[in-house]
Chains A and B, each alone.
Chain A
Amino acid sequence: MTTTRKAFITGLAAACLTATGLATPAAAQKVEVQFWHAMGGVLGERVDELVKNFNASQTKYTVVAVNKGNYDEVINGTIAAYRAKKQPHMVQIYERGFMTMLLSEAIVPVHDLMAEKKYQIDWSDFIKPVAGYYMYKGKLMSMPFNSSTPILWYNKEHFEKAGFKDGPAATWQEFEKQLYEIKSKGVAECGSSLAGDYFWSLIENYSVVNDQPFGTQSNGFDGLDTEFVYNKTLVVQQVTRLKKWVDDGVMQIAGQGLNPEQLYTSGKCSTFFASTAAHGSVERNARIKWSATYLPVEQGITARNSTIGGATIWVLKGHKPEEYDAVAAFLNFLASPEQQVWWHKVTGYVPLTTTAYKMAKQEGYYASHPTREIAVLQLSRGTPTPNSQGFRFGNFTQTTFALRQELEAVFSNKKTPQQALEDAVRRGNDILRQFEKLNAGKY
């Protein structure tokens, strides 16, 4: 028995040696770095294409892109990997994870990395709502990658049939009348399909566009002691409105087992509040004459910019200097206007720099694709106020979940809008205090 065991171990060792022996020559030629992302389906294919282009563009580095599931799974996988000291070099994290990543002590700020590796990047060229969201003390902390903003998608035919030649109205009050008329005239079964991320488009961005504070301390930008205040703003009115729509069948909740976008693209519902990044799938799936426009605004209020959603690429600590050379080279590649324009066109995400936007415009891209420009124009509308520069809340996924649960209680008649928002604020503030306690003095 001992001899067999010895033979087995020797064999195993030999196998290992051969494996490393085979791997070494390849590794000596190119520095390999890992990039974990959350882009599935068509978007995943685009990421693969992007990485392939980078790898083909030079000979020193290889980026390996791995899809690690959805955003939640990616951030969780990253945390687990970091704790096991097996973290990737770059990881795509959603905007809600900003504070967690920023204060994690596990990251290398992108601004510092690019400066150290002597890359000249004009950070001021990044469009404001994007850069502002991810900037801390004047430095960009992570590389903006896929940024979007919600817009209002609508069915042209439905609006024309109901007698609204110009499409959706600019104010919520007028828009509401239109939706009710579309339903009462029998043009469509439902006025609007409620998206899965409606809290982002219809609550958070509603606050931003209408210049309402969501939390104190400039929505968290000025300190960890921020508290939610949306129970005292126009959000109450907005939730009451949405509840009425749902009750009257003007707005439909798709629920589990059905993609809300299908209710819109199939022509069942006339409108859909969703990300501009839905361009890819709407273009492919819609059997209707679709179009899109700006988010509505409350009567008598000047519409502000909307805010972004999406994700950025964070660089993690704990790797070798030459690997950071590769990371910097890749990020530099991403920042180039040509890449930006390509990414913008194939995905529907917004171009991240003014140069890239101008390039697309000069090409005449927006003349043929007018809805692609809405997001950019909406994001850069007016001068940002403390209420419209974005959100900076710790444990933001958790507070958002509390808000969503309370909104569900409104839709299911368990709570009044006011009561639900009070509860959401109370729960959210408890979560914020936990984050403050853990990170006191760090922001």
Chain B
Amino acid sequence: MPHTAGTLAEVRRDPGGTAAAPAARTAPVPVRPLGKPASRAAGRAGLKRSHFRQARLPWLLLLPQLLILALFFFIPALRALAQAFLLADPFGTRMQFVWFDNFIALLESPEYQSSVWVTIWFTLAQNVLTITVAGILAFATDRVIRTRGLYRTVILLPYAIAPVIAGILWAFLFNPAVGPIAHALHALGVGWDPNRNGWDAFVLVTLAATWKHICYDYVFLVAALLAVPASLLEAAAVDGAGPALRFVRISLPMIGPTVFFLLVMNFVYGLFETFAIIDAVTHGGPAGATMILVYKVYQDGFVHIDLGSSAAQSVLLMIFAVILTMLQFRYVERNVNYDV
């Protein structure tokens, strides 16, 4: 890595013209920054001096956002943390402080361990599949000439479908008793039955979750690919590099930040937002084969009203998500070049 931390930081600080800039630490902006970092930084300092003389105004402006965060994030998170150490009656009439009992019970339970593994495999499979398919589709966009608009629309459509509806659709198509795709599979001699076979169910929810999220990755990848300078690609073409080689050697490294951003986003999606799909397709079954952590939190908390365990699970899930994200920043981001 020839690039210094200084340039990296400066590039990140660059507003880049999009609203996502403040979140650049976790979400690098896919559009490549163009302006000169030094002059922009100076301009911003000037803006600060002239417009924010009093300390009150920025706080006032921040207040609505802070309030929302406090109400919907900090207070619930703290309460969950407190609840995780309690054995409590659902109605809140009495409770016992049980130290780490809820956590110990979870970590010792084979069902929880299995749920952790299911989650890891599910998010990994979903992530790799989503970004690969979206990458291929984005790569192909330039090669579709006649019906490019239609092509893009078709790929984007799943994003407009509510996750539950998507889930029910997939559950129906692959239902062994009535689903047309299941019938086709049976005709091919595949003993497809997600109601009994845990592996089939796992494949089904992974496919459904991937299908739902491809469009998201696709949009970012197409935008990033558009920003790759044509001059470089043409130069490579003149040197005799074919489309595939140009994609792997030039486009891919140049869209590295976007790919990294999408990897993180896909993990977040897989960990938290696939809830509705699981709920509609398998309910976490059969025998826990698709019981991802977030669905288990819901099941134990909202269906079985085991608030202590559910709270402990959400605390563990948060730790799990933070570790995963940190690992990604540590090992994946190293190979991402922000300064091309």
Chain A residues with CB under 8 Å of chain B are 72, 75-76, 79, 82-83, 100, 103-106, 246, 252-258, 263, 268, 395, 397-398, 401, 405-406, 408-409, 411-414, 427, 430-431, 434, 437-439
Instruction: Tell me whether B303 is interfacial, beta carbon within 8 Å.
Output: yes
Report, as a range, how many residues of chain B touch the other chain: 35 or more
Q: A412 to B305, Cβ gap below 8 A?
A: no
* A397 surroundings in chain B (CB, below 8 A): 303-305
Complex Cα gap A39–B227 (Å): 56
Known: A103-B89, A412-B197. A406 touches B287 (CB 8 A): yes
Residues from 259 to 313 in B contacting A, C-beta threshold 8 Å: 280-283, 285-289, 299-300, 302-306
Report the Cα distance A105→B89, complex, angstroms: 10
Residues on B lying within 8 angstroms of A by beta carbon are 87-94, 96, 105, 111, 168, 171-172, 174-179, 194-198, 280-283, 285-289, 299-300, 302-306
Once the chains bind, are A438 and B96 in contact (CB under 8 Å)?
yes
Of B87, B168, B197, B198, the residue contacting A434 (CB under 8 A) is B87
Q: Which residues of B contact A411 (CB under 8 A)?
A: 195-196, 286-287
Q: Across the interface, do A79 and B176 meet the contact criterion of CB distance under 8 Å? A: no
Verify B195–A253 contact, CB threshold 8 A. yes
Q: Are B302 and A408 in contact (CB under 8 A)?
A: no
Measured between beta carbons, the chain A residues less than 8 angstroms from B196 are 246, 253, 408, 411-413
In the complex, which residues of chain B have a beta carbon less than 8 angstroms from the beta carbon of A106?
91, 93
Give bound CA distance, A443 to B252, whole Å: 67
Q: How far is the CA of A431 from the CA of B105 in the complex (A)?
A: 11
The A contact surface, by secondary structure, is helix
Which A-chain residue is minimally distant from B197 (CB atoms)? A412
Say how far A173's CB is from chain B's closest CB, in angstroms.
Answer: 25
Q: Determine whether the beta carbon of A75 is less than 8 Å from that of B305.
A: yes
Name the A residues within 8 Å of B197 (CB-CB): 412
Collect the chain A residues with CB atoms within 8 Å of residue B172's CB.
257-258
Residues on the B chain within 8 Å of A82, using CB: 91-92
CB distance from A245 to the nearest CB of B (A): 13
Asked, given contacts A398-B304, A408-B287, A411-B196, whether A256 binds B89 with beta carbons under 8 Å apart, the answer is no
Chosen A-B contacts, 18 in total, with CB atoms closer than 8 Å, are: A103-B89, A105-B89, A246-B196, A255-B195, A256-B175, A256-B283, A257-B175, A395-B304, A397-B303, A397-B304, A398-B306, A401-B304, A408-B288, A409-B287, A412-B196, A412-B286, A413-B196, A437-B87
User: Beyond A253-B195, A255-B177, A255-B194, is A104–B303 a contact (Cβ under 8 Å)?
Assistant: no
Is the pair B90, A405 in contact by a Cβ cutoff of 8 Å? Answer: no
Beta-carbon nearest neighbor of B282 in chain A: A256
Q: Once bound together, how far apart are the Cα atoms of A128 and B38, in whole Å?
A: 84
The answer to whether B281 touches A256, judged by C-beta atoms less than 8 angstroms apart, is: yes
List residues of chain A with CB within 8 A of the CB of B306: 395, 398, 431, 434
Given contacts A104-B93, A105-B91, A437-B87, contact A408 B285 (CB under 8 A): yes
**Taking each of B90, B172, B175, B305, which has the highest tally of chain A beta carbons within 10 Å of its own beta carbon?**
B90
Which chain B positions have C-beta within 8 A of A72? 302-303
Q: Are A408 and B177 in contact (CB under 8 A)?
A: no
Interface contacts beyond A82-B92, A257-B171, A412-B289: sample of 16 additional A-B pairs, CB < 8 Å, sorted by A: A79-B305, A83-B91, A104-B89, A104-B91, A104-B93, A246-B196, A254-B175, A254-B195, A257-B179, A395-B305, A397-B305, A398-B304, A401-B299, A411-B195, A427-B111, A439-B89
Which of B105, B177, B280 is most buried by chain A, counting CB atoms within 10 A of its CB?
A: B177
* Measured CA separation A414–B197 after assembly (Å): 9
Flag if B286 contacts A408 (CB, 8 Å): yes
What 10 A-B pairs are tightest by C-beta distance, nearest first? A255-B195, A257-B171, A409-B287, A398-B304, A408-B287, A257-B172, A408-B286, A256-B171, A105-B93, A104-B91
A347 CA to B171 CA in the complex, in Å?
30
Given contacts A397-B303, A408-B285, A409-B287, contact A256 B91 (CB under 8 A): no
Question: Closest CB of chain B to A408's CB: distance in Å?
Answer: 4
* Residues of A with C-beta under 8 A to B288: 405, 408
Residues of B near A104 (CB, < 8 A) are: 89-91, 93
CB distance from B162 to the nearest CB of A (A): 16
In the bound complex, CA of A83 to CA of B305 (Å): 14
A412 touches B175 (CB 8 A): no
